[in-house]
């Protein structure tokens, strides 16, 4: 997967985001910083952040650095293997899992801005390698060091208050994997409660699937369409001007349906709001 080097105010990082007009040879690895003075976090960027919303990865880096860690993005990382695993292609899933395990071997922690991908790493890698003792040990070791972003901030680094503001009323959708596999519920709400100017309106049926489900929306488009219709109806009922979640798959699905319905509700990954990175277009909004 091609990489490019980004530079901005919070450091130099590799984000897996190809750009036209740049060859692989022109994409060089950024230097690592302060690797011995703080916990070393390997950022698992995720495919969707890579291809559709790199700002989520930058928001993750900003939050992790503010929490006192150093962040590195291993250039050898790849897809977590969830699509292959969910569709029964276990051999392909193992191949991808092996690459992820190797890429993140030397980090204190592995963090992803996705409950879905992290659910795969923490819960399903051990299933994939159940009959491979040495790789099972490696999978368990990785799982023990791996966290979804917001959970890592609250439960590991003890973050409880953020010096950031957002002027608006938001509602929050709980993604299936984050909620059911990782128990993510109160953590994002706790941090959102510290954001100046932000009002949180709870979403009815926030724990009900939005209809994305990875390849589910391709295999069962009519069912998926009705599910996201219901989700968007619940969002409209809150009168919130912004909807947040911790998984880009859900957010892309919800944003697409809201835009097709002509709704103006803004859509952001929770990390973007927590990092104060909402000046640009929301998910599904055109570049100005």
- Predicted pLDDT at 3: 30
pLDDT in tens, 99-114: 999 999 999 999 999 9
- Predicted pLDDT at 175: 94
pLDDT in tens, 184-204: 999 999 999 999 999 999 999
pTM of this prediction?
0.86
All domains of the chain in start order, with CATH: 4-155 (no CATH), 160-274 (3.40.50.11810)
Cα–chain center distance at 193 = 20
Smallest Cα–Cα separation from 86: which of 120, 51, 52, 50? Answer: 120
Residue 273 has pLDDT above 90, yes or no: yes
Smallest Cα–Cα separation from 73: which of 12, 22, 133? Answer: 12
Looking at 47-56, 145-154, 220-229, 265-274, which range is the least confident one? 220-229
Residue 29 has pLDDT above 60, yes or no: no
Banded pLDDT at 61 (limits 50, 70, 90) = very high
- Predicted pLDDT at 30: 36
Banded pLDDT at 254 (limits 50, 70, 90) = very high
User: Measured between alpha carbons, how far is residue 35 from residues 13, 31, 32, 72, 208 in Å?
Assistant: 14, 10, 7, 9, 41
- Predicted pLDDT at 32: 41
The share of the chain scoring above pLDDT 70, in percent, equals: 88
Banded pLDDT at 213 (limits 50, 70, 90) = confident
pLDDT in tens, 234-249: 999 999 999 999 999 9
- Kindly report the three-state secondary structure assignment for every residue of the chain: CCCEEEEECCEEEEECCCCCCCCHHHCCCCCCCCCCCCCEEEECCCHHHHHCCHHHHHHHHHHHHHCCCEEECCCCCCCCCHHHHHCCCHHHHHHHHHHHHHHCCCCCEEEECCHHHHHHHHHHHHHHCCCCHHHHHHHHHHHHHEEEHHHHHHHHCCCCCCCCEEEEEEEECCCHHHHHHHCCCHHHHHHHCCCEEEEECCCCCCCCCCCCCCCHHHHCHHHHHHHHHHHHHHHHHCCCCEEEECCHHHHHHHHHHHHHCCCCCEEEEHHHHHCCCCCCCCCCCCCC
Residue 149 has pLDDT above 60, yes or no: yes
- Predicted pLDDT at 224: 80
- Predicted pLDDT at 217: 74
- Predicted pLDDT at 36: 54
Across the range 90-100, mean pLDDT stands at 98
Looking at 30-44, 223-237, 250-264, which range is the least confident one? 30-44
Q: Which of left, alpha, beta for 167 (phi over 0: left; psi -120 to 50: alpha)? A: beta
């Amino acid at each position: 997967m091609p990489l490019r080097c980004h530079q901005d105010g919070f450091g130099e990082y590799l984000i897996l985001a190809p750009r036209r007009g740049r060859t692989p040879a022109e994409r060089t690895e950024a230097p690592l910083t302060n690797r011995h003075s703080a916990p070393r976090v390997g950022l698992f960027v995720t495919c969707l952040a890579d291809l559709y919303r790199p700002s989520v990865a930058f928001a993750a880096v900003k939050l992790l650095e503010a929490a006192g860690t150093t962040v590195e993005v291993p250039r050898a990382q790849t897809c977590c293997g969830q699509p292959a695993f969910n569709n029964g292609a276990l051999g392909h899933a193992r191949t991808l899992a092996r690459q992820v395990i190797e890429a993140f071997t030397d980090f204190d922690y592995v963090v992803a801005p996705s409950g879905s991908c992290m659910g795969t790493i923490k819960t399903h890698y051990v299933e994939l390698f159940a009959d491979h003792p040495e790789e099972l040990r490696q999978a368990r070791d990785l799982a023990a060091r791996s966290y979804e972003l917001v959970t890592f901030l609250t439960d590991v680094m003890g973050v409880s208050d953020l010096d950031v503001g957002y002027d608006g009323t938001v509602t929050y959708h709980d993604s299936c994997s984050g909620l059911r596999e990782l128990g993510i519920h109160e953590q994002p709400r706790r941090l959102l409660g510290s954001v100046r100017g932000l009002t949180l309106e709870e979403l009815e049926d926030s724990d009900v699937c939005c209809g994305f489900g990875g390849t589910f929306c391709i295999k069962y488009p009519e069912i998926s369409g009705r599910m996201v219709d219901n989700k968007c109806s619940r969002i409209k009922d809150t009168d919130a001007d912004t909807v947040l979640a911790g998984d880009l798959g859900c957010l892309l699905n919800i944003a697409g349906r809201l835009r097709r319905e002509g709704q103006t509700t803004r859509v952001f990954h929770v990390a973007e709001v927590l990092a104060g990175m909402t000046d640009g277009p929301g998910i599904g909004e055109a570049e100005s």
